[in-house]
A = this chain, B = another copy of it.
Amino acid sequence: MRRVALEVVKTEGSARAGRLRTAHGEISTPAFMPVATQGSVKSLSPGDLVGAGAQIVLANTYHLFLRPGHDAVRELGGLHRFMGWPGPILTDSGGFQVWSLAKLRKIGEDGVEFRSHVDGSLRVLSPETCVEVQHALGADIIHPLDECLAHPATVEATERSLDLTLRWLRRTCAAHRSGGGPGALFGIVQGGAYADLRRRAVERVCALDLDGYSIGGLAVGESKELMYDTTALCGELLPFDRPRYLMGVGKPIDLIESVARGVDMFDCVMPTRNARNGQAFTRDGPLAITNARFARDPAPLDAECRCEACRLFSRAYLRHLFVARELLAYRLLSLHNLTFYLGLMAEMRQAILEGRFEALRTRFLARYGVESQGGANPST
């Protein structure tokens, strides 16, 4: 029996609307997962997340491994209880963070040795410890340790890396089976910018018959075209009846373009990180709240939005909070941006169910264009 099960309810082209059953409840797909890096979606409470429409959150194995430690989280009843989130939780493998945050990495067949960015201590993550950590956290969906290459990388380096990641994946499967953790294991498809390596990755990973498949190594600085093409390729090759998760993506336009290419799940720090930098997503494009033109603007961020920030407050007040560095500013904009992201997912899903996703996509593209949404790097 699978630990998670996807039912594809309706398709339109490659776009899919579905239901994903997990041990902590069912979620509607396509779904966006707010990022609770250290066991908290920055500035927001679990109640805020529910109010914004979140059904599932992502937590970072790397961060929780280093602090407070997976043993502490297990002792305290697991991550759901620890962070007060009753719904499903997906954890990444920590691989991406080892490569982007940690120092002094030494990679070998066994795993990766690195210095913690928190306290400088020497730590090791192997495929086996990575599973052990995620089992201790009690996540509903877990991920295998993978190597994350910077873009661009040569075909030789990418191939070497992919083969290591695939060997690690087989060890991960064995550890997951014997570890008896409650979660479902997703396989990560790497292969960088090379279509034939991506094909090989899909073939080898899918041969392991996993509960779901994650597309990794995108949104790391490659062109939009390459990102979309690689996503489309994976969308075509991955089995229809398993969830597909595009890791670390992305801007609103990327969500739409990737749903159009068959992706079911997303995560990105952009809505919350950009909020803390004063950027609000709206139906008329993004808005920099600190702009002086909002100083006496009585309108809400987005007149159609029903979040608390838009129901109660003017742009002028939100600008004031930002300029005055009031903590409430980060919270209200984070809430708004997540509401926007999650609303966009719900809108896409409804459109697929009603056979008008292409119309929605065309309208969105015409209104905002490819480059008008977002600004910061969407990587986690």
Contacts and interface: CB of A to CB of B under 8 A. Distances in A.
A110 interface: no
Interface stretch (A17-25, A315-323, A337-345): A315-323
B45 A83 contact: no
Contact of A316 (B72, B296, B314, B321): B72
A298 interface: yes
Contacts of A44: 328
Contacts of A296: 72, 75-76
Contact of A82 (B63, B76, B314): B314
Contacts of A82: 314, 316-317, 320
A159 B296 CA distance: 44
A1 interface: no
Interface stretch (A35-43, A190-198, A240-248, A367-375): A35-43
Contacts of A42: 326-328
A312 interface: yes
A77 to B, nearest CB: 7
A43 B327 contact: yes
A324 B328 CA distance: 19
A46 interface: yes
A331 interface: yes
A308 interface: yes
A317 B43 contact: no
Number of copies of this kind of chain in the complex:
2
Given A68-B316, A312-B46, A77 B298 contact: yes
A233 B257 CA distance: 73
Interface residues of A, number: 38
Contacts of A13: none
Given A312-B46, A320-B67, A327-B331, A295 B40 contact: no
A84 interface: yes
Contact of A326 (B38, B295, B313): B38
A47 interface: yes
A94 to B, nearest CB: 16
A32 interface: no
Contacts of A46: 312
A335 to B, nearest CB: 9
Given A82-B316, A314-B82, A317-B84, A295 B43 contact: no
Contacts of A312: 45-46, 84
Interface in A64-95: 67-68, 72, 75-77, 82-84
Contacts of A62: none
A213 interface: no
A293 B63 CA distance: 21
Contacts of A320: 38-39, 67-68, 82
Interface in A270-318: 295-296, 298, 308, 312-314, 316-317
Determine which residue in A40, A46, A63 has the highest number of CB atoms from chain B within 10 A of its CB, and name it.
A40
Given A47-B308, A68-B316, A77-B298, 20 more contacts: A39-B320, A40-B321, A40-B326, A43-B327, A43-B331, A44-B328, A45-B308, A63-B324, A68-B295, A68-B320, A72-B295, A72-B296, A72-B316, A76-B296, A76-B316, A83-B317, A84-B313, A327-B330, A327-B331, A331-B331
17 contacts: A38-B321, A39-B320, A42-B326, A42-B327, A43-B327, A44-B328, A45-B308, A46-B312, A68-B320, A75-B296, A76-B298, A82-B316, A84-B313, A327-B327, A327-B330, A327-B331, A331-B331
Q: Which 7 A-B pairs have the closest CB atoms?
A: A43-B327, A84-B312, A38-B324, A68-B320, A40-B326, A40-B328, A76-B316
